[in-house]
Amino acid sequence: MLDRFASLLGVIPPFLMLWYAERFERRIKEPHANWRYRILVAAALSCVPMLWLAHLLGDVLERAAEPQRSLLEAFLGSATLEESGKVFCLYLFTRMTLGPRSRYGAFLYALHAAAGFALVENVGMLESAPNLQILTVRFVLRAYMASPMHLLAGGVVGYLWARRRFDSGAVGLPGGLGIAILIHGLYNACLFGVERLPAENSALIVLSAVVAISVPLIGVVVLRWLAGRLRSDDERDGR
C-alpha cells in the first residue's frame, strides 16, 4: 500500500519544472492563465487512448526483426503517438481568444501539455515497481531523464509555435511536432539500445547510454536558452 501511495511522487518532477518555468517569467499576460492547467489535464487524459494504441502497435511490431523492431517502437509506437497527442491537445485548447498573447505564454502552454504526459507516465512506471527499492531507482531516473526529455520536446514545440504565431516563422506546430518526435524517438531508441543490444556490441551500448543520459542535461540548457530568447523578445515588444 505504501509503495502504491509513493508512486504518486511521480508528479513531482514535472510540476517542479513547470514551477520554475512559470517563475522565470512572472509578467505573463495571458487571457486565461489557469487554462494552461486544463491543457495539462487534457494531455494527461489523452494518455489513455494513446497508450492503448501503442499497445496494439507493439503487438504488431513484435513480428519485426531487430533493429527494425526497436526503431519502430521508439519513433512510431511511442514518440509519434505521444507527441501527436500533446500537439493535438495544444491545438484543440488554444483556439480563438484562448490562444496565447505572448511568446512565452505559447511556450508555457506547450510545456504544460508535455507535463501532462510526463506525470501520468511517471506515476504508471512507479506504480508497477515491485518493491520500494526499484520504485526509488525509477523515481530518480524519471526525475532526471524522462521528465526533462518530455519537457524539452514540448518546449521545442512551444518555441517554434511562438515564432510562427508572433514572428511569421516558417515552421510552426507541424515542424515542432517533427522535431519533438526526433528528440523523443532518439531518446527511446538509445534506451532500447542499452536494454536490447547483444553484449558483444559493448561500444554501441555505452554510446547509447551516454546519449540517453546527455539528452536531459542538454535539454535543460536548451530550454533555458529558448525561454530567455522568448522572454527577451516579449520585453522588446512590451508584451
pLDDT tens track, the chain, 239 positions: 545 566 676 777 788 888 888 777 666 666 566 778 888 888 888 878 887 787 777 777 777 777 778 888 888 878 898 899 889 888 888 877 778 888 998 999 999 999 988 888 888 777 766 667 666 766 777 777 888 889 999 999 999 999 999 998 878 889 999 999 999 999 888 888 888 888 888 888 888 888 888 888 888 899 999 999 998 998 888 77
Return the beta strands (E) in 8-159 as ranges: none
C-alpha–C-alpha distance, residues 138 and 164, integer Å: 37
Terminal C-alpha separation, the chain? 49
**How does DSSP classify residue 79?**
I
C-alpha–C-alpha distance, residues 219 and 21, integer Å: 13
Domain containing 233 equals: 2-237
Cell 520585453, located at residue: 235
* Rg of the chain (C-alpha set): 18
Q: DSSP 3-state assignment of 14?
A: helix
- How many domains are there within the chain? 1
